[in-house]
Amino acid sequence: MVTTVLDITTGRREVVLDITRECERVVSESGVQSGLLNVFVPHATAGIAVIETGAGSDDDLLAALDDLLPADDRWRHAHGTRGHGRTHVMPAIVPPHATLPIVDGRLALGTWQSVCFVDLNVDNPERQVRISVLGD
């Protein structure tokens, strides 16, 4: 197994950040021809989504999360900025991990699929993503 840690700075804003190239680089450098790529966020307030990007879907995801999880005072988990509790609920909707197939030494994504880091937590701009490759 090969694991790489990707450091991300969000700039204190909500983000959907495409990390597909970094995942593809880790797969390529691993030499694995057949196996699995696991992407994991070791944070209680961030997630991984496999979605289309660049056509508005990333902004649509942020808007949908804002509709589902408004940044208001309803949250019992109430430290940090207003509505911070919603960021602790988000990983139940956008999980903190994704596992993807590796076929013929390449990440086997669909034509329009990208691996994206999702973070609504504006209180913590420094993040990590663990990218692991397992296989032959």
- C-alpha to C-alpha distance for 96 and 45, rounded to whole angstroms: 8
Domains of the chain by range and CATH? 2-135 (2.60.120.460)
Please say if the pLDDT value at position 59 is more than 90.
yes
Mean pLDDT of 86-111: 97
- Cα-Cα-Cα-Cα torsion 79, 81, 82, 86, nearest 10 degrees, comes to -70
Q: Residue range 70-86: average pLDDT?
A: 91
Res 79 pLDDT > 90: no
Please give the pLDDT value at position 64.
97
Rounded CA-CA distance 26/4 in Å is 7
Q: 27: exposed, middle or buried (C-beta count within 10 Å: 0-12, 13-18, 19+)? A: buried
pLDDT of 5-50, one tens digit each? Answer: 999 999 889 999 999 999 999 999 999 999 999 999 999 999 999 9
